């Protein structure tokens, strides 16, 4: 199969906000507890309670920002329960996720410390569904006010003298569902009210994110933009890749047919249509694109691993998940004029995770490797692209066999992402760089494996990992390459002196 990509290096399409490489960590299953937080007294090596192996792994991704504490958990979280001496913090039931006891040992101070350790921005999701306006106002005051006030004084008593910088604040989560089952008209009014009290203290300027829609529901977007657009900086959107015949039967993360491989990628590519639909509605009310589209939950959602708590959403992660990640990033890059942030669900041990843990063991997933390979696109300038792809057919349906993206990074390197979606066919590809003067030296890495469900396990942690990619030639500004089936390649073309 022959494919052609023309990169117009002299036509910039906009900046790829590094925040689309953001993450999401909820109090759900073993994401926070065990996955990130083990406590200072744990035998698992840790720094101030945060496990060292996970910390080091996440540092390797240059995570720009982390969303917390939910998810559905956000709208039943009362932040005051999670500050002060840990031994006297309230214990509560995590009703959404397995009905387990939440001891609140990981709270505001611990989360903001984690962000400092990762060098990333915090993105806090506030409680609208079961919280009060006052509670939300006081949380912002507690975290960001530098002066004399009840909340700032309490923060100091709890050991933090200086306020933190908190730029991103979400006013509720899925308020059409677990966050209160509201109608958009009702939530739009609540949003207007709650956001009024999300104050900017000193030079801490908050980027306010309203709860947005899910999948293809543009009615919610329409109402929110019409009624509250002027009070928000961002509007969220959730889109999960869920296949399978029913919610109770989403299919296994590891045992799947070729047809399921195809359907999963087909559904991932639909992100393009979803973004176009919502962006078009937003364009109507905000042609200047002032309001960012914030895809603050995305990723694959399969059945939990057999024998694990159904409320913990623990799933393994294969090469298929890795390709979902790469083609989704390609879509985000195409929409970089509107999409200003995205957060993979979720960072550790939940859904499409970067990292899995079992006691003191940790493993990096194939998805992790795509995030690591693609980090060269953070803050790069997306370049105009013409992709002439062959077709990948299955049972009378077709999707492109190749997905591509290209961008120029801040140091002038041209970065190219290529994915061969086919489960069984190689893709011969030519990449033409036009509008670019001077010679370039190419280097690349590839992520692939022999079987479509190959994955990293605690026994074989390096089964799927990136390797140098050398199957290409360059001549006269054209790169010719052969992509193996089921592969993700990232090439870097550095200007030669």
Which lies closer to ligand AHR via its Cβ, residue 365 or residue 401? 365
Rule CB under 6 A: is residue 75 a binding residue for ligand AHR? no
User: From the DSSP assignment, how many helices (H) and strands (E) are in the chain?
Assistant: 10, 26
- How far is residue 32's CA from residue 29's CA, in Å, rounded to a whole number? 8
174 is catalytic: yes
Burial of 101: CB neighbours in 10 Å, binned 0-12, 13-18, 19+:
exposed
For 114, list phi and psi in degrees, rounded to 5.
-60, -45
Which lies closer to ligand AHR via its Cβ, residue 3 or residue 127? 127
Among 72, 319, 363, 446, the residue binding ligand AHR under the rule CB under 6 A is 72
Let me know how long the chain is: 497
Rule CB under 6 A: is residue 76 a binding residue for ligand AHR? no
Tokens at 127, concatenated: 């409680």
Tell me how far apart the terminal alpha carbons of the chain are, to the nearest angstrom: 35
473 is catalytic: no
How many positions of this chain bind ligand AHR (CB under 6 A)? Answer: 10
Binding to ligand AHR by CB under 6 A, coded x per residue (else -) over 12-41, reads --------------x---------------
Which lies closer to ligand AHR via its Cβ, residue 67 or residue 333? 67
Alpha-carbon Rg for the chain, nearest whole angstrom, is: 22
Rule CB under 6 A: is residue 174 a binding residue for ligand AHR? yes
Rule CB under 6 A: is residue 269 a binding residue for ligand AHR? no
- Catalytic pick among 76, 102, 260, 297: 297
Binding to ligand AHR by CB under 6 A, coded x per residue (else -) over 336-365, reads ---------xx----x--------------
- How far is residue 434's CA from residue 411's CA, in Å, rounded to a whole number? 19
Which lies closer to ligand AHR via its Cβ, residue 173 or residue 279? 173
Cβ atoms of 202 and 146 closer than 8 Å: yes
Listed ranges 70-78, 181-189, 329-337, 385-393: which one lies at the site for ligand AHR (CB under 6 A): 70-78
Dump strand ranges (E) for 215-291: 234-241
319: CB partners within 8 A, 6+ apart: 366, 447, 448, 449, 451, 452, 453, 454, 455, 464, 486
Which lies closer to ligand AHR via its Cβ, residue 325 or residue 416? 325
- Catalytic pick among 34, 174, 260, 372: 174
Listed ranges 67-75, 76-84, 197-205, 444-452: which one lies at the site for ligand AHR (CB under 6 A): 67-75
Angle at 123 between CA 117 and CA 128, to 5 degrees: 140
Rule CB under 6 A: is residue 297 a binding residue for ligand AHR? yes
Which lies closer to ligand AHR via its Cβ, residue 212 or residue 400? 212
Query: For residue 189, how many other CB atoms are within 10 A of its CB?
Result: 13
SS3 111: helix
Listed ranges 69-77, 285-293, 321-329, 452-460: which one lies at the site for ligand AHR (CB under 6 A): 69-77
Query: For residue 271, how many other CB atoms are within 10 A of its CB?
Result: 25
List, by residue number, the catalytic residues.
Answer: 174, 297
Site residues, ligand AHR (CB under 6 A): 26, 70-72, 173-174, 297, 345-346, 351
């Amino acid at each position: 199969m022959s494919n052609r990509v023309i990169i117009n290096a002299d036509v910039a399409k906009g900046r790829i906000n590094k925040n689309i490489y953001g993450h999401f960590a909820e109090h759900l299953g073993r994401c926070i507890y065990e996955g990130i937080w083990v406590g200072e007294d744990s035998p698992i090596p840790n720094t101030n309670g945060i496990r060292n192996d996970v910390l080091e792994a996440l540092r390797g991704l240059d995570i720009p920002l982390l969303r917390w504490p939910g998810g559905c958990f956000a709208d039943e979280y009362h932040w005051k329960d999670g500050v002060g001496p840990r031994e006297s913090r309230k214990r509560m039931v995590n009703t959404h996720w397995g009905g387990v006891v939440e001891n609140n040992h990981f709270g505001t101070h611990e989360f903001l410390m984690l962000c400092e350790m990762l060098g990333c921005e915090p993105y806090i999701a506030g409680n609208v569904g079961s919280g009060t306006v006052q509670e939300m106002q006081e949380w912002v005051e507690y975290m960001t006010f530098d002066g004399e006030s009840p909340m700032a004084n309490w923060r100091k008593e709890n050991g933090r003298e200086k306020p933190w910088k908190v730029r991103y604040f979400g006013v509720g989560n899925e308020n059409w569902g677990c966050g209160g089952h509201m109608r958009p008209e009702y939530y739009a009014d609540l949003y207007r009210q709650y956001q009024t009290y999300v104050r900017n203290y000193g030079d801490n300027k908050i980027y306010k994110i309203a709860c947005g829609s899910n999948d293809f529901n543009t009615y919610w977007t329409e109402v929110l933009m019409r009624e509250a657009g002027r009070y928000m900086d961002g509007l969220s959107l959730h889109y999960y890749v869920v296949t399978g015949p029913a919610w109770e039967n989403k299919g296994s993360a590891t045992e799947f047919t070729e047809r399921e491989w195809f359907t999963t990628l087909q559904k991932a590519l639909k992100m393009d249509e979803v973004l176009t639909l919502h962006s078009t509605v937003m364009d109507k009310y905000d042609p200047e694109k002032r309001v960012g589209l914030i895809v603050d939950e995305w990723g694959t959602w399969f059945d939990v691993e057999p024998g694990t708590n159904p409320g913990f959403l623990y799933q393994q992660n294969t090469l298929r998940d890795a390709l979902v990640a790469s083609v989704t990033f390609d879509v985000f890059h195409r929409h970089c004029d509107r999409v200003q942030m995205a957060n993979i669900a979720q960072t550790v041990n939940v859904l499409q995770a970067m990292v899995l843990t079992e006691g003191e063991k940790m493993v990096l997933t194939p998805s992790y490797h795509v995030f690591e390979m693609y980090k060269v696109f953070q803050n790069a300038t997306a370049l105009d692209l013409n992709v002439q792809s062959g077709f990948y057919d299955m049972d009378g349906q077709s999707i492109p066999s190749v997905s591509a993206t290209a961008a120029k990074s801040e140091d002038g390197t041209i970065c190219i992402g290529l994915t061969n979606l086919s489960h069984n066919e190689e893709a011969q590809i030519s990449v033409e760089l036009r509008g670019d003067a001077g010679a370039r030296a190419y280097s690349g890495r590839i992520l692939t494996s022999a079987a479509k469900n190959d994955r990293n396990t605690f026994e074989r942690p390096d089964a799927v990992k990136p390797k140098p990619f050398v199957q290409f030639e360059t001549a006269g500004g054209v790169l010719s390459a052969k992509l193996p089936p089921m592969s993700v390649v990232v090439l870097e073309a550095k200007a030669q002196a």
